[in-house]
Amino acid sequence: MPVIEVEHLHKRYGDKVAVEDVSFTVERGEIFGILGPNGAGKTTTVECLEGLRTPDRGRLSVLGLDPRSDRVELRQRVGVQLQEGRLQDKLRVGELIDLYAAFYREPADPERLLSTLGLAEHRNTAYKKLSGGQQQRLSIALALVGSPEVAVLDELTTGLDPQARRDTWDLIEAVRDRGVTILLVTHFMAEAERLCDRIAVIDAGRVVAVDTPAGLVAGVTDEQVVRFRPSAPLDPGALEALPEVRRVETRGGQLVVHGHGNVLHAVTSQLARLGVIAGDLRVEQAGLDDAFVALTGHRPE
Ligand SMILES: Nc1ncnc2c1ncn2[C@@H]1O[C@H](COP(=O)(O)OP(=O)(O)OP(=O)(O)O)[C@@H](O)[C@H]1O
């Protein structure tokens, strides 16, 4: 049975439709991403799953329970990363983690969690004295302190520096390896591509695609780009004649070949036949950001 089920969720605020029609399921042990531009309805969707908002229409199930009527039970089994500014400024890190641990039947070891997240030496620091990155890491610790079966993480690494971001990704993978199902809200392509087993792309309140990161990319484009600097003048027509090549551009001394399938092999074989050597050879494949643009019409931030 899926851990999370969302069927035809609809939610409006007054006249504003925030979620028009969202459906997806998340299986046990998955890292499932919700990816979309600003205002797409991502946070509204997860707040409905957390039981914080009541859907206008649609059916929701988390661990086989109803997020609204079974909220007390779900609070024990679902960890939620709180948004900025929802914690008491004056409480110290150690007090906050102990306080949160006390809410749960089977809490994780707070000390271990703080040291995993690099916060052990800040046990006595007040929340408001922490840096943005430290506050972010504390919010992750608090989401995990109840040993949840499901963790809902909204904008997991916003505000973290690149190293802290990579450390956090490693941590989330380790948490998943212990069997925790993770629902990750993000608008950060590299994060979604690196962490998520599957992604629902949401735009203007609707799911426009659900697939693996590679599946999303393959679904919108099979384009590959080969760039190189030829060792001798080369007629682009000699490459354009290849069935794998769609078009060739000349940029300065470089040739940029757009193609599909095994275009690299086709191009290098042709160059060998012509006695031309490819300098600075690079192959680029489409990434999740290209798929995102194709699916939503928005550029990633
Ligand atoms: N409490 C509210 N009252 C009125 N409109 C709201 C409220 N909360 C969200 N909205 C609107 O609903 C739409 C969806 O918002 P939501 O926060 O769910 O999107 P999001 O995808 O999480 O965006 P972001 O990435 O910017 O957080 C937006 O147009 C937003 O302005």
Using one digit for the tens of pLDDT, what is the confidence trace for 207-241?
999 999 999 998 888 889 999 999 999 999 999 99
Ligand 1 atom 28, closest CA:
39
Which ligand 1 atom sits nearest the alpha carbon of residue 40? 21
| CATH code, domain carrying 270 | 3.30.70.980
Backbone angles phi, psi at 219, to 5 degrees: -70, -25
Where is 298: in which H helix or E strand? none
Using one digit for the tens of pLDDT, what is the confidence trace for 94-133?
999 999 999 999 999 999 889 888 899 999 999 999 988 8
Q: How far is the CA of 196 from the centre of ligand 1 (A)?
A: 23
Whether 1 shows a pLDDT value over 90: the answer reads no
Whether 197 shows a pLDDT value over 70: the answer reads yes
Which ligand 1 atom sits nearest the alpha carbon of residue 205? 14
The confidence score (pLDDT) of residue 84 equals 64
Same domain, 18 and 144: yes
Mean pLDDT of 48-72: 95
The confidence score (pLDDT) of residue 78 equals 96
Total number of domains constituting the chain: 2
The confidence score (pLDDT) of residue 237 equals 94
**Poorest-confidence range of 135-139, 148-152, 226-230, 247-251?**
135-139
The residue range of the domain holding 277 is: 222-285
**Is 135 inside any structural domain?**
yes
Same domain, 174 and 157: yes
Same domain, 205 and 96: yes
Q: What is the mean pLDDT of the chain?
A: 92
Contacts 24+ apart (CB under 8 A), 10-18: 10/55, 10/56, 10/57, 10/58, 11/41, 11/44, 11/45, 11/48, 11/53, 11/55, 11/56, 12/56, 17/205, 18/44, 18/205
Same domain, 210 and 113: yes
Same domain, 207 and 161: yes
**Poorest-confidence range of 33-37, 142-146, 166-170?**
166-170
pLDDT band at 155 (very low <50, low <70, confident <90, very high): confident
Q: How far is the CA of 13 from the centre of ligand 1 (A)?
A: 9
Last residue of a domain, one of 175, 203, 218: 218
The confidence score (pLDDT) of residue 85 equals 60
Structure-model confidence comparison of residues 222 and 200, the more confident one: 200
Whether 74 shows a pLDDT value over 70: the answer reads yes
The confidence score (pLDDT) of residue 158 equals 76
**Is 190 inside any structural domain?**
yes
Whether 195 shows a pLDDT value over 90: the answer reads yes
The confidence score (pLDDT) of residue 168 equals 85
Same domain, 52 and 158: yes
Same domain, 208 and 84: yes
Ligand 1 pocket test, candidate residues 43, 48, 298, 301, most atoms within 8 A of CB: 43
Which ligand 1 atom sits nearest the alpha carbon of residue 19? 14
Q: How far is the CA of 33 from the centre of ligand 1 (A)?
A: 18
The set of protein residues with a Cβ atom below 6 angstroms from ligand 1 is: 13, 16, 18, 36, 38-44, 187
Q: How far is the CA of 208 from the centre of ligand 1 (A)?
A: 18
CB atoms within 10 A of CB 21: 15
**Chain center to CA of 60:** 21
**Is 299 inside any structural domain?**
no
The confidence score (pLDDT) of residue 166 equals 87
Same domain, 191 and 229: no
**Is 291 inside any structural domain?**
no
Q: How far is the CA of 150 from the centre of ligand 1 (A)?
A: 23
Q: Where are the alpha helices (DSSP H) in 29-78?
A: 42-49, 71-77
Interior CA angle at 234 toward 231 and 239, to 5°? 115
Last residue of a domain, one of 218, 246, 274: 218
Q: How far is the CA of 41 from the centre of ligand 1 (A)?
A: 6
The confidence score (pLDDT) of residue 160 equals 79
**Is 52 inside any structural domain?**
yes
Ligand 1 pocket test, candidate residues 16, 45, 56, 296, most atoms within 8 A of CB: 16
Same domain, 254 and 140: no
Ligand 1 atom 6, closest CA:
13
Tell the residue number behind the tokens 């991502």, with chain if given.
42
**Is 290 inside any structural domain?**
no
Last residue of a domain, one of 187, 218, 249: 218
Encoded tokens for 105: 């039947």
**Is 109 inside any structural domain?**
yes
Whether 83 shows a pLDDT value over 80: the answer reads no
**Is 292 inside any structural domain?**
no
| CATH code, domain carrying 74 | 3.40.50.300
